Structures are given as structure tokens and as C-alpha cells.
Amino acid sequence: MDESEIFRALADPTRRAVLERLLTGERNATELREGMSVSQPAISQHIAVLRGAGLITEQRVGRHVRYAVNPEGLQPIVDWLTRYRAFWPARIERLKTHLKDMDQ
């Protein structure tokens, strides 16, 4: 329900990069950090923000933690955006195409 927290979490490019990496499958913190030029604590803190915003879930597996996108996490802002649907004249066709793709 707290859109502010979600938007704030998404406002940081490093956190969006983490999320997008999770789109291709679950990862642990070390894997999420690969190729990024930030310290281990920095990633850990970003992960905490994403988790606080409900955007990711975590599951401890041994001494690793597997992170994954939380499917429900983005819903509040998707809902928020649908209020602006009357202002999406140009994109509406593309969105419909996406939805048709999903039907198949």
C-alpha cells in the first residue's frame, strides 16, 4: 500500500539493476554483486531496501541467501499507474499486444 517506499526503492539505478538481474532467475547476494562496482555492504543495504519495499523475497539456503522477485511487489504501482490509463493513448496498443502474447 505504501507506494512511496516502492517508488523510492525503484529510483536507484543499482537497485533496478539488481531487480532486473533477478528477472532471469534467483540469485544470492554475491551473484547479484557480480560486475557491479559497489562494496558488499552496499549491495546488502540495497537488498534490504528492496525487501523492505516488498519487491523481493529471500530464502536462506545454507550459508547463502537466495533472492527472488516478489510477484506481488509491483502491484501497488501498477494499480497506481492504471489510474492514468486515459493518458496513455500512444502506448495502449503496445500494452494490448503484450497481453495478447501472454494469452498464448
Binding site for a second copy (CB under 8 A): 3-4, 7-8, 10-13, 16, 20, 23, 69, 71-72, 74-75, 77-92, 94-96, 98-99, 102
Q: How far is the CB of 32 from DNA (least distance, A)?
A: 8
What's the distance, CA 78 to chain centroid? Answer: 12
Q: Which of 24, 60, 83, 87 binds DNA (CB under 7 A)?
A: 60
Query: Of the listed pieces 17-25, 35-43, 83-91, 93-101, which binds DNA according to CB under 7 A?
Result: 35-43
Cα separation values, 44 from 1, 18, 27, Å:
24, 11, 13
